[in-house]
Amino acid sequence: MALTVYEDIERCFEGGWSDGLPVVPPYGSLVDRMLGEMGWKPSEVVGRIKAQNIEIRAEHLAATAVMAGCKFEYGRLLRALCKGLMDPRLNLSGAEVTTGGASVLVMVGGPIVAELGFEHEANALGANNRANATVGRFAQMVRHFCGRGGGVLQTHGTIGHPGRLSFCIAEHPETVWPPFHTQFGIPAGTSAVSVMTSEGPNSINNHYGETPEVILDTIADTLMHAGMTNWYWHSGCSVIVIAPDHMQTISPKYNRDQVRKYLYEKAVRPTAELKRLGRITANPRPESKVDLNAMRSPFDSEAQMAFIECGKAGGKFSALIPGWVGARMIISNVVE
195 to 80, 154, 285, 316, 324: CA distances (angstroms):
10, 23, 29, 26, 12
Mean pLDDT check: name the lowest of 48-62, 106-120, 211-225, 280-294. 48-62
What is the pTM (predicted TM-score) of this model?
0.96
pLDDT the model gives residue 13 = 96
Nearby residues of 293 by Cβ (< 8 Å), 6 or more positions away: 271, 272
pLDDT at 100 over 70: yes
Instruction: Report the Cα 194 to chain-centroid distance in Å.
Output: 8
Q: What is the mean pLDDT of residues 265-284?
A: 97
Domain ranges, ordered by start, for the chain: 2-334
Q: What is the mean pLDDT of residues 39-68?
A: 93
CA-to-CA distance for 106 and 138, rounded, in angstroms? 10
CA-to-CA distance for 56 and 277, rounded, in angstroms? 43
Percent of the chain with pLDDT over 70: 98
CA-to-CA distance for 179 and 170, rounded, in angstroms? 11
Q: What is the mean pLDDT of residues 239-254?
A: 98
Strands 317-322 and 202-205: antiparallel
